[in-house]
Amino acid sequence: MIKYVHSDIRGPLYAKAMEMQAQGRDVLKLNTGNPAAFGFGLPDSIKRALEGHLEEGVGYCDFKGMPAAREAVCDYERNKGIRGITPDDVFIGNGVSEVVSFALQPLLDRGDEVLVPAPSYSIWGNSAYLASGRPVFYTCDEQSGWYPDIRDIRSKITERTRAIVVINPNNPTGVLYPKEILEEIVEAAREYGLLVFADEIYDRLVMDGLTHISLASLAEDIPVVTMNGLSKSHCLCGYRCGWMVISGPRELTEDYRQGIIQLTSLRLCANTLGQMVIPDAIEDMETPASMVRPGGRIYEQREAGLTGSSRTISVS
């Protein structure tokens, strides 16, 4: 299946950029959302969380993740309205990327299909191939505010469809989905018995007074795997810190959960230093909030992008 795996921004464009850089040309890399490369530093809360605790991360930890981290994630996701979960439903990984790479494997048999948004964040479609499946792309239509086209989604569901991926807020479109759109997707998943993967890594970077709704909070009766992490909210991409939370009726999720247990235990554990900062990061909602309010770096960059203004944005 590796022959189908392809990503322009992680493949040919990246290779070209490296080539140009080797020739001494200055290359601005927008292929990866890597805040540190643009001057976003380590938040004080994270610095404090690590101070004096480095010894605690020396050994392997539980393959699901460190207990304090799983408890903090569980509280966070419960506060987002996801009901019926315990820390046992939380699996910490080396970034959302790693949990995505596990996520499809227990679910797919050869040729099974996963509905994936287009335009897309490339790891999802490629992970479907790597799990012996096939991504089927549904349209997020620019003419409709980049919202997922529910009719297109429904028209692409076949007897091989196993799951639907929802990235909200979306990368690359940047759009936040309203409750009605999420409910329509949940309804289709319910009707056809699909598992929903909700990639919500940008949920704390929402602007303009809007509120992010966790898809799983609208879908207590169906299996949902919610993904999130600290790469964007706390600019900690390099710490490789992400998680997945399995929610929904236990009888529908048990086999899947066992598959995830096998995969995560085979790789022993996720990076412990990243996990050690999770409780403090989740406590520190000021860091993401400060970036997306007026005067904050991300807010001001968005404004500059929209208005074409060239005023200087200070790096803080």
What residues form DSSP beta bridges with 247? 224
Is the Cβ of residue 58 or residue 167 nearer to ligand PLP in the bound state? Answer: 167
Query: Is residue 280 within 8 Å of 48, Cβ to Cβ?
Result: yes
Interaction between residue 171 and ligand PLP (CB under 6 A): yes
Q: How many residues bind ligand PLP (CB under 6 A)?
A: 13
Is the Cβ of residue 37 or residue 252 nearer to ligand PLP in the bound state? Answer: 37
Binders of ligand PLP among 182-211, rule CB under 6 A? 199, 201
Is the Cβ of residue 130 or residue 154 nearer to ligand PLP in the bound state? Answer: 130
Interaction between residue 167 and ligand PLP (CB under 6 A): yes
Interaction between residue 96 and ligand PLP (CB under 6 A): yes
Is the Cβ of residue 95 or residue 125 nearer to ligand PLP in the bound state? Answer: 95
Query: Is residue 277 within 8 Å of 241, Cβ to Cβ?
Result: yes
Q: Which of 90-98, 156-164, 203-211, 216-224 is the region at the interface with ligand PLP (rule: CB under 6 A)?
A: 90-98
Binders of ligand PLP among 212-271, rule CB under 6 A? 229, 231, 237, 242
Binders of ligand PLP among 23-42, rule CB under 6 A? 33
| Residue whose Cβ sits closest to ligand PLP | 95
> Among all chains, which residue has been given the structure tokens 């996801």?
82
Interaction between residue 121 and ligand PLP (CB under 6 A): yes
Sign of CA dihedral 164, 169, 172, 175: positive
- Quick one: which of 90, 78, 89 has its CA closest to 250? 89
Contacts with ligand PLP, residue ranges (CB under 6 A): 33, 95-97, 121, 167, 171, 199, 201, 229, 231, 237, 242
